[in-house]
Amino acid sequence: MARILGIGNATLDIINTVDGFPAEDTEVRALAQRICRGGNAANTLVVLSQLGHSCEWLGVLADEPDAKRVVEDLRKNGVSCSPCCYSAAGKLPVSYVTLNARNGSRSIVHYRDLPELDAEHFSQLDLTPFDWLHFEGRNIPELARMLARVRKEHPAMMVSLEVEKPRRGFDALFPFADLLLFARAYAHAQGYGDARQFLDAAAQRLPNTDLVCAWGEAGAWARSRAGATYMAPAWLPARVVDTLGAGDTFNAGIIDARMRGLDWEQALGVATELSGRKCGQVGFEHLLDNSMPSGAGGAPPESGRTARAPGSVLLCSLDDLDDPGARGFYIEDASGVAAIFVVRRGDNVFGYLNQCPHMGVSLEWTPDQFLNIDGTLIQCSTHGAQFRIDDGYCVYGPCSGQALAPLALSVDGAEIRLHGAIRVVDGAS
């Protein structure tokens, strides 16, 4: 176990889950809403704490209810806020997040009304007890002073720096860090469409720094200071429900693995598994349940979850469906909101997650249109993949040989029921 100080933001996240992003100047009703702690540094620390480290957060707090709520949340997650600085004015940063239930992607509007952390406060903190400092890359002039202090007073301290977006003067600070954790958005802003090329170019300027670049569902790359490049594919959850904070989780995985002395291949494996698991669930709780975080990543779970949890919900009646015919629903279970659909053929009904194995998109081109023209196969409207109705197996298209994730359905009299601790959010009769 190491003692880690994370320097950056904690936020209040107001997360609305919607059925696809709304177009500009339109209204939609959210399928679900969640209000919780967020912020890159805070999220990373929460995951590091789950990984067994002793974590402290240094950021700015105000004396107001949202800040108290976040402090309480961090405390419950094993992260101490005692190094924090209090501002007399302002309120905790708020992020308004729109989460697309169809594919787990998110868009964020930030509202910021709190002074940034200043180097003066940081200069008063005793850093000797810490094994690792992790900085969020923000407020560059103050960050420059903080990093300069660390290097002057603690030259051997391990320092990681998150580089999420371009900021004026940011790259001059890169050589202060032992480990740079780049986000895809940063590489894109530098004109790179490929993580490997981005890291090759960055390594020319930063020969003494370890460089990592996460690339969403494509996985992640690392370039060690020894000059070798490594890559790990994304670890795919059974379904992607929430990508908010995937990068923060990935960064925690890398920091933990490197602190434990794992090599780069193993570190990428651990971090992609951890962040993949995060994408498969809502929020950050219990990420390690059933996981194997100590090695080079685990095998993806089998697609589909057919195990029956107690209970069932009524979706609709057999008579509500044409024969052949299909209908889409939104359900909510412990791992969040998901799009599903059922298909009727004769007296049989089959149910699947509404997610094409090819790119994770939803299948239908217009509400409830899941079948091909003659009603013999399920069809994805994006790239034309076709699936057998009775087992979801892909017989044609870019995901041939893969299958839709099946659901545990039963037909009781004429009632079509879905098994599990589930609530139907939208679409039920």
User: How long is the chain?
Assistant: 429
Distances (CA, A) of 376 to 390, 408, 415, 426: 10, 22, 23, 26
Q: How far apart are CA 185 and CA 163, in angstroms?
A: 9
Q: Mark residues 215-244: x for contact with ligand ADP by CB under 6 A, - for none.
A: xxx-xx-------------x-x---x--x-
Burial class (CB in 10 A: 0-12, 13-18, 19+), 168: exposed
User: Considering CB distances under 5 to 8 angstroms, the limit depending on partner class, which of ligand ADP, ligand FRU, none binds residue 43?
Assistant: ligand FRU
For residue 349, report the phi and psi dihedrals to the nearest 5 degrees. Answer: -130, 140
184 touches ligand ADP by CB under 6 A: yes
Q: Which of 161, 149, 152 is nearest to 7 (CA)?
A: 161
351 touches ligand ADP by CB under 6 A: no
Q: Mark residues 185-224: x for contact with ligand FRU by CB under 6 A, - for none.
A: ----------------------------------------
Out of 5, 6, 7, 39, the only residue in the binding site for ligand FRU (CB under 6 A) is 39
Q: How far is the CB of 347 from ligand ADP (least distance, A)?
A: 37
| Burial state string for 145-167 with b = 16 or more CB within 10 A and e = fewer than 16 | ebbeebeeeeeebbbbbbbbeee
CB 82 within 8 A of CB 65: no
Q: Which residue is nearest to ligand ADP (CB)?
A: 247
Nearer to ligand FRU, 217 or 263 (CB): 217
Nearer to ligand FRU, 19 or 248 (CB): 248
Q: How many CA atoms lie within 13 A of 37 on its CB side?
A: 25
40 touches ligand FRU by CB under 6 A: yes
Residues contacting 27, CB < 8 A, separation 6+: none
Q: Which residue is nearest to ligand FRU (CB)?
A: 38
Residues 228-247 within binding reach of ligand FRU (CB under 6 A): 244-245, 247
Q: What is residue 190's three-state secondary structure?
A: coil
Q: How many residues bind ligand FRU (CB under 6 A)?
A: 12
Please report, as ranges, the residues that interact with ligand ADP according to CB under 6 A: 183-184, 214-217, 219-220, 234, 236, 240, 243, 246-247, 250, 272, 275-276, 279
Please report, as ranges, the residues that interact with ligand FRU according to CB under 6 A: 11, 13, 38-40, 43, 95, 108, 244-245, 247-248
